[in-house]
Amino acid sequence: MNSSLEVFPINGLIGAEIRGADLGRPLSDAEFSVIHQALVRHEVIVLRDQDITLDHQMDFARRFGELSIHPFSPNLEEKPEVIVLDYSDKNPPTLTDVWHSDETFRDIPPLGTILRARVVPKAGGDTLFSSMTAAYRGLSERMKQYVHGLEARHDFKPFRTLFNDSPEHRKKLRDLEDRFPNPWHPVIRVHPVTGRRILNVNPQFTIQIRGMKDDESLTVLQFLFRQALVPEYQLRVKWQPNTIVMWDNRSVQHYAPHDYYPQRRTMERVTVCGDKPIGVQGPYTPEEPPEWLSAQVPKEPAQGGRPLRPFERAAN
């Protein structure tokens, strides 16, 4: 089966734009295969000019799996799977300007998230993404050996600020703590499709490394958190109305700046259920580079050498 979809990489290590897709109609198996392969290869996919309904967006998401309901984010009563992020001067943005993977406070975090722009500000309001497979590859071999086999505890800590000290709120908070009892996830997880290793900690939800003193854990986590800040691992998406972005939540962190406030920015989001994170099994062995990365190395060196610096030229 052939597909007319085209995939255009955006950055060297993360992101691709898919052209020729119309999410307002059912995708053929061939079209879905192209999109799915692009997602796991590029980790973030961008589809422009998708003037579709919410039902179309949900149908697209269901091709990847069952939809989940976020326990804290504002959603639609008639479609609880849909999160509405509508920020303006009347509703200032909160909790998005921290690097994170979605909902790692769950025992089984989401597979991916599909976000659609409805209202965009005149300036600002971009979303940044960072590849955690690239972040893992960027660690030294000694650091990879050190973090191999470690586990970290996750908590819905930013959402605790939504509760006050009333008896009703305290009871609701206790109920949610029973539903989401601080899972331990591998610091390095394995992608269930590609087999790639992923740096699986984030500053919004990861709170402790098992078996370490608090100051030791904090030192290691802060170093690992900083890997999301490396520009080579990042993608910055500028939104337009009816832009849809899907990211692989298993291997990507994201960050939404509040630089557009007090302008209005409205997004509709659906999230696909995932699988339990699994770490690297057995003793440490180096990870082989992905085939696509090896294929980028030129088979023959460029002709003519490189430009010389002044001190490299022979004196007259």
Q: For 100-141, what is each residue's pLDDT tens digit?
A: 999 999 999 999 999 999 999 999 999 999 999 999 999 999
pLDDT reported for residue 170? 95
Give percent above pLDDT 70 in the chain. 96
316 pLDDT band, cuts 50/70/90, is low
Average pLDDT, the chain: 95
pLDDT at 229 exceeding the cut of 70: yes
| pLDDT tens readout for residues 40-65 | 999 999 999 999 999 999 999 999 99
All domains of the chain in start order, with CATH: 6-287 (3.60.130.10)
Q: Which residues are catalytic?
A: 100, 102, 254, 269
- Using a cut of 0.85, tell me whether the model's pTM lies above it: yes
The DSSP secondary structure of the chain, one letter per residue, reads: -----EEEE-SSSS-EEEES--TTSPPPHHHHHHHHHHHHHHSEEEE------HHHHHHHHHTTS-B---SSS-B-SS-TT-EEEEEBTTB---S-SS-B-TTTTSSS--SEEEEEEEE--SS---EEEEEHHHHHHHS-HHHHHHHTT-EEEE--GGGGGG--SSHHHHHHHHHHHHHS---EEESEEE-TTT--EEE---TTTEEEETTS-HHHHHHHHHHHHGGGG-GGGEEEEPP-TT-EEEEETTTEEEE---TTTTS-EEEEEEEE------B--SS--PPPPPHHHHHTS-SSPPTT--PPPGGGSPP-
pLDDT reported for residue 155? 97
pLDDT at 217 exceeding the cut of 70: yes
